[in-house]
Chains A and B, each alone.
Chain A
Amino acid sequence: MGMAAVESQFHVLAVDDSSFDRKLIEKLLQKSSCQVTTVDSGYKALEFLGIESNDPNALSTSPQEVEVNLIITDYCMPGMTGYDLLKKVKESSAFKNIPVVIMSSENVPARISRCLEEGAEEFFLKPVRMADLNKLKPHMMKTKLNNQKLEEIEKPLNVSAAAAAAVEPEIKDSAEVGSKILTLQSELEPKQVHLQVAQQEEQTLGNNNKRKSMEEGLSTDRSRPRFECVTTAV
């Protein structure tokens, strides 16, 4: 399955400690044509995303193989509240661009403004309805477009060794540009190298083998530069 097919649907991560509410939100999201993953706690959400709860910048062994376009979470949860989860996501350089929506059955204005100030896109009062979810499409579209722009940035680089050399002037002798790029990995600017490496990955490994490329010792920071590139390109 190509990248295009995978990215044609929005993927939402729904977090709620109540199995009843999880079933409801899952159905609502499916009805809105979204792909849904549900978890029952903030900790599991962080785990799924690949954020270690004590180190926001570390990646787990299985980082974002599936893109998450939106996180929707209940506010009142034992241990880590929805607000705590929101903070952790916004503190993470890799995931802070993912829109977060908070749900609550209680209408507490102070709580609502606190969440919005912390960066939540929306605050929904339960029971959540289809009409509420329709408000989310623009937010999810934004992250999708950002990711697609990134794909477009990477594609032109996937041209030739000459082009690669031009982008990376520090490569003097380039008999095998491919291997040169890999060996010079530690010496060059991480951001630029990751683009090159990503290009190599696209060429040789295919889109579905991100995990494999991690195991082969290439950069594990694939997801971070994506967002960094977005900010510099846009």
Chain B
Amino acid sequence: MLGLGVDRLQADINRLLTSLFHQGVLDEQFLQLQQLQDETSPTFVYDVINIYFDESEKLLRSLRLLLMDREFSDYKKIGLHLNQLVGSSSSIGARRVRNVCVAFRSASELNNRPGCLRGLEIVEHEYHYLKNMMHELFQLEQQRLLAAGVRYPM
């Protein structure tokens, strides 16, 4: 069980990552992040992605509040929020989220409210999909660490 557990979990992790790359959900920037993780910061990827989640959710909530307001007209503010989302999504390799944010931003530049509402829906959808995938990935990593810990007792 011990050795097989680690190998099987690693295979699951690899399969998940391959699938995410294949779908275009993640790109090579995510690999860059993984390369930064080492013994001095063994949870670097996890930490950084959690900061990304916190910041993104604040931005998404703000965007929704802005657009739900019937009196809404501050497209510039929407643009600024989206700049941040585009930037941080590219930094973690969240290719699809980044792309739909860019499309949303174009709608805001045209002051197109229905376009913005639609854009926000799509971004929220892609974002939640990414978040679920990342949670699954972290869970597998966690299990693998535990299995490896059992295999190599300190």
Q: Is the CB of A18 within 8 A of B88?
A: yes
Interface of A is mostly: helix
Could you list 17 A-B pairs, sorted by A, with CB under 8 Å? A18-B87, A19-B55, A20-B51, A20-B52, A21-B87, A21-B88, A23-B51, A24-B91, A27-B44, A28-B36, A30-B40, A76-B83, A126-B87, A126-B90, A126-B91, A127-B90, A130-B35
Q: Is the CB of A105 within 8 A of B51?
A: no
State the interface size on chain A (CB cutoff 8 A). 17
Query: In the complex, which residue of chain B has the Cβ closest to the Cβ of A27?
Result: B36
Task: Give chain B's interface residues, CB within 8 Å of chain A.
Answer: 29, 32, 35-36, 38, 40-41, 44, 47-48, 51-52, 55, 83-84, 86-88, 90-91
Total contacts A-B at CB 8 Å: 44
Check: A106 CB closer than 8 A to any chain B CB.
yes
Q: Is the CB of B55 within 8 A of A105?
A: no
Complex contacts, A180 vs chain B, CB 8 Å: none
Complex contacts, B32 vs chain A, CB 8 Å: 127, 129-130
Complex contacts, B91 vs chain A, CB 8 Å: 20-21, 24, 126-127
Q: Which of B29, B44, B83 meets A127, CB within 8 Å?
A: B29
Distance to closest chain B CB from A117 (angstroms):
24
Assuming A28-B36, A127-B29, A127-B32, is B44 touching A105 (CB within 8 A)?
Answer: no
Complex contacts, B47 vs chain A, CB 8 Å: 23
In the complex, A129 Cα to B90 Cα: how many Å? 12
Q: Is the CB of B84 within 8 A of A18?
A: yes
Extra contacts besides A24-B48, A31-B36 (4): CB < 8 Å: A19-B55, A20-B52, A27-B41, A127-B32
Distance to closest chain B CB from A148 (angstroms):
28
Complex contacts, A105 vs chain B, CB 8 Å: 83, 86-87, 90
Interface string of A4-46 (1 = CB under 8 A from B): 0000000000000011110110011011000000000000000
Interface string of A60-104 (1 = CB under 8 A from B): 000000000000000010000000000000000000000000000
Query: In the complex, which residue of chain A has the Cβ closest to the Cβ of B84?
Result: A18
Distance to closest chain A CB from B76 (angstroms):
14
